[in-house]
Amino acid sequence: MSLEIILDYVGVLLAGLLGCAALLRANGSADRWAFAVGMLLLAAERLCAGLAVQRADLPPEVFKWQVWRLHLVALLPAPWLAFSLTYARGNAREFLRKWRFGLLAAALLPPVVALALRQDLIISSHALGDSQTLLLRLGLAGTAMQLALLAAAILILANLEHTFRSAMGTVRWRVKFMLMGVAVIFLVRLFTTSQHLLFRSLDPRWDVLNAGALLVGMTLMVRSLLRTGRFHLDIHPSHSVLHGSMTVVLVGVYLLLVGVLARIVSTLGGDASFTLKSLIVLLLLVLLGILLQSDRLRMYLGRFVSRHFQRPEHDYRTVWRKFTEGTASRVEPAEYNRAVVKLVAEIFQSLSVSLWVVDERQEFLRLGASTSLDEHLVREIQPTATESAVILEQMRTHPAPADFEKEPGAWAGVLRRCHPDEFHKGGTRVCVPVMSGREVLALLVLGDRVGGTAFTLQDLDLMKSIGDQVASGLLNVRLSQRLLQAREHEAFQTMATFFVHDLKNAASTLNLMLQNLPDHFDDPEFRQDALRGVGKSVAHINHLISRLTQLRSELKITPVASDLNDLVRGILGSFAAEKEFVVEPRLEDLPALPLDRDQFGKVITNLVLNTREAGATRLTLSTRRAGAWAVLETADNGGGIPPEFLSRSLFRPFQSTKKNGLGIGMFQSKMIIEAHGGRISVESTVGQGTSFRIFLPLTPLT
């Protein structure tokens, strides 16, 4: 039994096992389904190739199995292109929606062409020299199949590159081997397909490369699954896949070089062991690629150069240029935070970097961005107000970077909980205060350093400098946001002025109609229509005017000692007659709160109305005490709020997901809550529901 047959059948077995395992654990995940279908198709394709080699002494059998193999090749582009668009991507549905026509074309065109022109897949065959190996001449349909596979391989490699570039920290560490495994398979496919197109023939001797690449790729995939213990990860790359991609450039150079190389070998009479040598070169290139992508190797090389050539550990000019270029154009807080943690992770070769941002009242720490923490874990480890105060006080009194790995203080314990180490041998964990004068703006936390090495004095000095630069950047972002809000308020006030003016004109017209009504009072039909229209219009206009004129840049309230539960019961009473919308109150005893009952009643009413208008059938409204705060919480079973709208637009004026919504209800509610010294938070999952939490201080009236 030849080497090629052994490689083919081992590949069939392993690919089939991987495909079946992924199929059993798909659970509706698009990337797992695509991976499972793709692996099973590769297994079937290698089976046909193995049978063709095994029956090499029977040309009709070889011809038959190679034709079936081309039919399977026609099915390969669609699932693997879908996998490259969805694997490890949190916004996979957006990519599938954007690429839906391309995926549809990849799924339908090659199989249809292969079936319709089956007789034109392979048009002739002849033996190579004195051997039994058959060289199969490709027809027009067979050439089209190879072109489709070549184009798909380029797109797949470009998508994999895009995913790899978008990953950082521990996420890149998790996905690296899976991406490399798939890339190896399709890099070799790109090479062998280019040879088939170059000579317009199927040379079975190239199949040993495809079989070897499949085994190497599956080895890397299994290594990835063993390393991470899970398949699904969330990366949010941009939609510009081909822009700036090295894949497209390298493919052009690659096709040129392999074409020249193959022509040279053919001109010189061929090389019987050329495919085996190519397989060895492939293995060496894969090994080189793994080494070049190793964070630990890059760190050791940097330290070797630093130690033996007597230069600083960091090239400060390069670091400063890279950091400035990476953050200068970021004006959105979330974008700036993500850019900071990504750059810090690369500079210090730390897989776990988090930026905890302090709110403007200097009361709470919230996660701005992280290379290792996801939102579900953050909900569990989020520091409380008391814990945040302890950490902030420590940072004010000790503003230098600090190793909190073995510190006994309470602040260090909170930081260790908020920044768990991923590898347990990742070296020390360091906290860097980001300060402007005595004000703490944020905390940079680094850990899980590649190789488990400790941070040096040079590292700590550079961290301090970067912390100062981040402080400047955060202040600029904060000022930019305030300027943007000021412009929004200005535009809003201008719009409201014109809106109110137009509405008053409409109201004057309607009042004139009412004055003329006595002249036509004897006409019952006119009288009925006019009264109905005038009453409805005036009520609607006055309602809009009332809401718009309340939206001032600063809201003045008149708080008095109030029973929050009593206020809630009074408002919910108006919804008691609803049959398709049930409100369930869960009210705990609370002390009297300083509330403006009229203004805060609008907040509760707005939350209930929004829930009902969002299609929810049940709302739970609860009150409780949490330390020095009274908490009012709502939870519904509605459709939820889209993440993009939730993070950017929920509390901005004139932003609404409702078709006829004005987009001022939540904006007004937030202003009223903040005027009471409170705050509001929201959590929402699309398709499951939304919960709001309002925190009000229990401060006694003075």
Q: How many CB atoms lie within 10 A of CB 424?
A: 8
Q: Which of 280-294, 317-331, 564-578 has the lowest mean pLDDT?
A: 280-294
361 and 435 Cβ atoms separated by less than 8 Å: no
Q: Are 558 and 594 in contact (CB under 8 A)?
A: no
pTM: 0.48
Q: Could you give the dihedral angle defined by the CA atoms of residues 241, 242, 247 and 253, in that order, rounded to the nearest 10 degrees?
A: 180
**DSSP strand E in 408-482: where?**
430-436, 439-449
Residue keyed to tokens 């690296």: 176
Q: How far is CA 134 from CA 56, 192, 274, 488, 651, in A?
A: 7, 16, 17, 73, 70
* Axis crossing angle, helix 207-228 with helix 3-24, rounded to the nearest 10: 40
Domain ranges across the chain: 3-297, 316-479, 484-549, 560-697
- By the 8 A CB rule, do 602 and 672 touch? yes
Give the residue-averaged pLDDT of 133-139: 80
Which structure tokens are listed for 320? 């400063």
Tell which residue, 260, 253, 223, 274, has the closest CA to residue 154: 253
The SS3 assignment for 619 reads strand
Give the pLDDT score at 241: 45
Does the pLDDT at position 552 exceed 60? no
- Cα 154 to chain centroid, rounded: 23
Q: Do domains 316-479 and 560-697 have the same CATH topology?
A: no
660 pLDDT tier (thresholds 50, 70, 90): low
- In this structure, are strands 201-202 and 134-138 parallel, antiparallel, or unpaired? antiparallel
- Summarised one tens digit per residue, pLDDT across range 526-550 is 677 667 666 766 676 676 666 666 5
φ, ψ (nearest 5 deg) of residue 76: -70, -40
* Domain 316-479 homologous superfamily, CATH: GAF domain (3.30.450.40)
435 in the Ramachandran plot: left (φ > 0), alpha (ψ -120 to 50) or beta?
Answer: beta
**Cα 459 to Cα 239, 305, 407, 542, 671, distances in angstroms:** 35, 16, 19, 64, 44
**What pLDDT digit, counting tens, does each position of 360-402 carry?**
777 778 888 888 877 667 777 788 888 888 888 888 888 888 8
Q: Which two tokens mark 435?
A: 């300060």
Angle, alpha carbons 55-61-66 (nearest 5°): 95
CA distance 528 to 607: 36
pLDDT value at 633 more than 90: yes
User: Does the CA dihedral 633-638-640-641 come out positive or negative?
Assistant: negative
pLDDT digits (tens, 9 = 90+) for 274-302: 555 555 555 555 566 656 556 666 666 66
Helices 385-397 and 410-418 pack at an angle, to 10 degrees, of 120
Q: To 5 degrees, how large is the angle CA 618–CA 622–CA 627?
A: 155
Other CB atoms closer than 10 Å to residue 487's CB: what's the count?
A: 10
pLDDT given for residue 276 in this prediction: 54
- Which CATH number is associated with domain 560-697? 3.30.565.10
Q: What's the token pair of residue 582?
A: 């049930």
Which tens digit of pLDDT belongs to each residue from 590-624?
898 999 888 888 888 888 888 888 788 888 999 99
Question: How many helices (H) does the chain have, and how many strands (E)?
Answer: 23, 15
Average per-residue pLDDT in the chain? 77
Name every residue whose Cβ is closer than 8 Å to that of residue 629 and which is 6 or more positions away in sequence.
678, 695, 696, 697, 698
Q: Give the number of C-alpha atoms closer than 13 A to the C-alpha of residue 374, restricted to the C-beta side.
A: 10
